[in-house]
Amino acid sequence: MKIACVIRYQIDPFQREAFRKYAENWGRIIPRCGGHLVGYFLPHEGTNDVAWGVIVFDSLAAYETYRARIKADAEGRDNFQMAQARRLILREERDFMEVVDECFLLPAAQ
């Protein structure tokens, strides 16, 4: 059973572009550590301090392996430390959701 880790970030809205760089960095790190990065999403209209990240794993065991790898990854540690030092993230919430395979990543009609 695939699971999705849905991360809700409350960010400092005055550091939106620094959070963008933080998210871009995960684009290299997360796949290398075993996660399928669906994407990071910045506020556009409406609430200006909420961002999202979505990562999919083949199983809960795969997530646990990923956690160990990301903690050992030098670039991952640097990215976490940069966010902490700059106080980009004010709050972070994680929810784990079951992926419905029959409607996951379906292509758009042409």
Q: What is the CATH number of the domain that holds 75?
A: 3.30.70.100
Q: How many domains does the chain have?
A: 1
106: pLDDT strictly greater than 80: no
The continuous run of DSSP H or E covering 96 comes out as strand 89-98
Domain of residue 58 covers 3-98
Mean pLDDT of 77-88: 95
Percent of the chain with pLDDT over 70: 100
33: pLDDT strictly greater than 80: yes
Percent of the chain with pLDDT over 90: 85
CA 55, 107, 21, 18 dihedral sign is negative
Report the range of poorest mean pLDDT among 45-49, 56-60, 81-85, 103-107: 103-107
- Is 12 part of a structural domain of the chain? yes
| Cα(19)–Cα(89) distance, integer angstroms | 8
pLDDT number for residue 102: 83
54: pLDDT strictly greater than 90: yes
Contact 37, 31 (CB under 8 A): yes
| Cα(94)–Cα(4) distance, integer angstroms | 10
pLDDT number for residue 109: 85
- Is 63 part of a structural domain of the chain? yes
